[in-house]
Amino acid sequence: MTFTTTTHLNLPGTARAALDFYQSVFGGQVQTTTYGDLGMPAGLPDTAKVVFGQLRSDDGFSVMAYDVPGQTEAVASTTRRENGTTVTDSPFFLSVRGTSFDETARRWEALSDGATVVEPFAASAWSAGFGMLTDRFGVTWVVDVDAAA
């Protein structure tokens, strides 16, 4: 038996845009199913929203997303650096770890488009490259290079 873990993002009507953006960063294929695809009558507010969405890339990256029914605004959370410490009220960070510095840095640059950088991507005590940002969809990412690499 094997298990896998895939982050599942609960978004306020931005699931399709988020998955398309993450596809531009990581490559791969996006698959979506809308509430309408599953029988919600046309014309209702959530009919075209994503009830099941997933991005899978050839290099192993995977993320799922859906639009929370009736939600149109993101639940605000904050992550910031304060006196050398990360301070947050976010219940999770999405962590991406690469084995190549150059490839990881390239993904960092792509994710940072429209993001708020919490900690710039740079060498750290535990990694050749580490950074933290909150993207345009409100998801906080930790991006680093595997220390073994």
Residue 87 lies in a domain: yes
Do residues 96 and 41 both lie within one domain? no
- Please indicate, yes or no, whether residues 60 and 105 belong to a single structural domain of this protein: no
The verdict on 44 and 19 lying in the same domain is: yes
Last residue within a domain, chosen from 67, 87, 106: 67
The residue range of the domain holding 24 is 7-67
**Of 110, 106, 93, 104, nearest to 145 (Cα)?**
104
What CATH number corresponds to the domain at position 47? 3.30.720.100
pLDDT in tens, 12-28: 999 999 999 999 999 99
The answer as to whether 15 is a domain residue is yes
Same domain, 29 and 62: yes
Q: Quick one: pLDDT at residue 149?
A: 53
What total number of domains does the chain contain? 2
> Does some domain include residue 73?
no
Domain contains 72: no
Q: If DSSP states are collapsed to H, E and C, what string results for 20-55?
A: HHHHHHHCCEEEEEECHHHCCCCCCCCCCCEEEEEE
Start-to-end C-alpha separation, the chain: 29
- pLDDT confidence bin for 34, thresholds 50/70/90: very high
Amino acid at 123: A
pLDDT of 4 higher than 90: no
pLDDT tens-digit readout, 59-118: 999 999 999 988 887 766 778 888 877 777 776 789 999 999 999 999 999 999 999 999
> Length of the chain, please?
149
pTM: 0.88
**Would 2 be classed as within a structural domain?**
no
What is the CATH number for 130?
A: 3.30.720.110
Are residues 43 and 89 both part of a single domain? no
